[in-house]
């Protein structure tokens, strides 16, 4: 017993020293964007059924929605963030409509870069994760996952969210690779919370270059009218399927600023895109650019809300969303 306690004490001292060293160098706890975390949130949303609010889209919705504010305002709801970085909501919405009997509320980001640029590239990662998720569900039906795996996952997530030592960039293996390669460890410019909220830090970013890359993404060919009509028809069917069984679909266009807003208006004018979607797809539609309540927030990079703004933005959004979302 004494040997066991001594081992724990040594481990605590070593971890404490490692933790203190990296915190002194400005690093912070880091949760990576992994399939396991994404799948856990989708699991939670599906299990909660009519009590769930699932958010899907790109990094813009991952930045904008503040989950502590959601939970405080609507403690009866189970929120689940299944957006993907640089992604599209199409694959998730299709899955919810066609592959499940789920009847909760899904908030679908329909910002132009997430929806109105041909979606094959945008939804690639999400589609790959969904394929892997479905395969995992099939395997679990044959070989049930031990309960301790879920506890192990939650404990690991807790450590990563609270201790620098267990983050990807300061894991001993990563440090060893850094020493061998001669490449210094760098603080990531984004990380996640356990809710999959994305936190952006522009401190060490070349902001002008970042904005230029964001604008360049919009230079990809926009959907043709024929492609848009096909997508809207699909969306209409998915919305109808979910709402017929008692669920709800909210189409949320997140606001943009300055250069991004200008190019959205130029390349995706409302009469040709947003208005067509709203008129035909069904569901509740919220245009963040047209809403004074939702557009009055700072966006340093022109498309993602600054992290300090997310709680107030979420409160404003909740004033618009129906009570069952």
| Alpha carbons 297 and 293: distance in angstroms, whole number | 9
| Alpha carbons 213 and 206: distance in angstroms, whole number | 11
Strands 198-200 and 190-192: what pairing?
antiparallel
Using a pLDDT cut of 70, give the percent of the chain over it: 75
The residues, ordered by sequence, that sit 6+ positions from 255 with a Cβ below 8 Å of its Cβ are 261, 288, 289, 291, 294, 295, 297, 299
* Span 79-93, average pLDDT: 91
Residue 11: which pLDDT band, with cuts at 50, 70 and 90? very low
The predicted pLDDT at position 283 comes to: 85
The residues, ordered by sequence, that sit 6+ positions from 323 with a Cβ below 8 Å of its Cβ are 74
Which residue shows structure tokens 């044959």? 142
Region of 53 (left: φ > 0; alpha: ψ -120 to 50; beta: rest) is: beta
Residue 148 has pLDDT above 60, yes or no: no
Using a pLDDT cut of 90, give the percent of the chain over it: 41
31-45, 78-92, 214-228, 247-261: least confidently modelled range: 214-228
The predicted pLDDT at position 27 comes to: 65
The predicted pLDDT at position 226 comes to: 87
CA dist 166 → 150, 191, 239 (Å): 18, 14, 41
Q: Give domain limits for the chain.
A: 28-320
Helical spans, DSSP H, in the chain: 2-24, 35-48, 59-64, 67-73, 90-98, 112-115, 119-122, 124-142, 147-162, 172-181, 207-217, 225-244, 258-267, 274-281, 292-295, 310-320
The predicted pLDDT at position 170 comes to: 56
125-139, 230-244, 297-311: least confidently modelled range: 125-139
* Span 105-115, average pLDDT: 90
The predicted pLDDT at position 43 comes to: 92
The predicted pLDDT at position 234 comes to: 93
Residue 6: which pLDDT band, with cuts at 50, 70 and 90? very low
CA quadruple 268, 270, 274, 279: dihedral positive or negative? negative
* Higher pLDDT pick, 246 / 178: 246
- Residues 274-299: pLDDT tens digits? 999 999 888 899 999 999 999 999 99
Please state the separation of Cα 102 from the chain's center in Å: 20
Domain 28-320 fold: Rossmann fold (3.40.50)
The predicted pLDDT at position 214 comes to: 81
Residues in the chain, total: 325
* Higher pLDDT pick, 211 / 61: 61
Tally of CB atoms within 10 A around 248: 20
Q: Is the pTM of this model over 0.95?
A: no
Residue 251 has pLDDT above 50, yes or no: yes
| Alpha carbons 81 and 45: distance in angstroms, whole number | 9
């Amino acid at each position: 017993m004494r040997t066991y306690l001594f081992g724990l004490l040594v481990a605590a001292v070593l971890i404490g020293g490692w933790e203190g060293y990296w915190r002194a160098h400005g690093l912070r706890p880091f949760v990576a964007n992994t399939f396991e975390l994404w799948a856990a949130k989708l699991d939670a949303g599906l299990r909660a059924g009519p009590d769930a609010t699932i958010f899907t889209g790109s990094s813009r919705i991952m930045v904008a929605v503040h989950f502590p504010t959601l939970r405080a305002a609507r403690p009866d709801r189970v929120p689940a963030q299944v957006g993907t970085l640089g992604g599209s909501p199409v694959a998730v919405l299709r899955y919810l409509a066609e592959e499940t009997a789920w009847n909760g509320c899904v908030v679908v980001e329909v910002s132009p870069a997430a929806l109105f640029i041909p979606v094959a590239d945008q939804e690639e990662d999400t589609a790959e994760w969904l394929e892997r998720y479905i395969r995992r569900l099939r395997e679990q039906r044959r070989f049930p996952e031990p309960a301790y795996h879920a506890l192990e996952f939650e404990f690991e997530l807790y450590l990563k969210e609270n201790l620098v030592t267990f983050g990807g960039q300061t894991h001993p293996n990563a440090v060893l690779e850094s020493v061998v390669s001669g490449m210094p460890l760098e603080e990531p410019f984004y990380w996640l919370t356990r809710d999959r909220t994305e936190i952006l830090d522009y401190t060490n970013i070349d902001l002008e270059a970042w904005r230029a890359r964001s604008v360049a993404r919009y230079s990809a060919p926009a959907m043709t009218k024929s492609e848009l009509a096909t997508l809207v028809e699909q969306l209409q069917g998915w919305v109808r399927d979910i709402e017929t069984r008692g669920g709800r679909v909210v189409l949320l266009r997140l606001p943009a600023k300055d250069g991004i807003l200008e190019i959205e208006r130029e390349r995706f004018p409302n009469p040709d895109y947003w208005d067509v979607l709203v008129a035909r797809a069904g569901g509740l539609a919220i245009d963040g650019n047209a809403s004074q309540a939702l557009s009055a927030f700072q966006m340093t990079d022109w498309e993602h809300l600054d992290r300090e703004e997310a709680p107030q933005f979420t409160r404003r959004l909740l004033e618009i969303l129906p009570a069952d979302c």
